[in-house]
Amino acid sequence: MKKIFLPISFIVYLVFLFTYSTAMANEEAQYNIVHKNNIYEIRQYSDRLVAQVINKGNNNSFRKLFNYISGENNSSEQIKMTVPVTQTKKDNVLLMQFYLPSKFNKQSTPIPTNSDVKISTIKKGYFAVIEYSGRSSDKNFEKYSKILKQKLLEDKISIKGNAIKATYNSPFTLPVFRRNEAMFNIDWKN
């Protein structure tokens, strides 16, 4: 009986993890696909509000942002988690960003009580995106960023700024089921 219990409990655990990690229905930043090929797609995004923190290398950026959406704001409002969570460099500073739900605008967004958390707007524009599964490690991100950058250069598409790392799943999601992206803001002429 003990020999059967272990494999059955392991299967139940895997089913729980898979169900939990794929059933999280988070709002996603809306976009329109304006071009697609076998390597990447080009998306048109509208302005998007984000809560962001400068990553100072101490790995607590995620915690600060999570605390903000958990109620560490001027209205003690709990804000639903959205996807993706992004990381990018701007002015040689690493930023981590949580997109805010579409119901918020600049005036209605709760003000963070932690001064390290800032509310900002990512301006509308076109973004080239390559999707990949697996771990959202820096190594995988760099690999796919290079693939995307090389293909954009071959296609004579002008890149504006640094690569953006976008992750969509909880850490409990099995790597094979994870959705990760590398993105570049680009100049796009239809």
pTM here?
0.83
The 10s digit of each residue's pLDDT in 126-143 is 999 999 999 889 999 999
Pairing of strands 41-45, 31-36: antiparallel
What's the CA gap between 38 and 65, in Å, rounded? 35
Label residues 89-120 b or e (16+ Cβ within 10 Å = b): eeeeebbbbbbbeeeeeeeebbebeeeebebe
Say what the pLDDT of residue 91 is: 83
- Both tokens assigned to 123: 């301006």
What's the CA gap between 165 and 87, in Å, rounded? 5
Say what the pLDDT of residue 19 is: 45
The 10s digit of each residue's pLDDT in 69-90 is 999 999 999 999 899 999 998 8
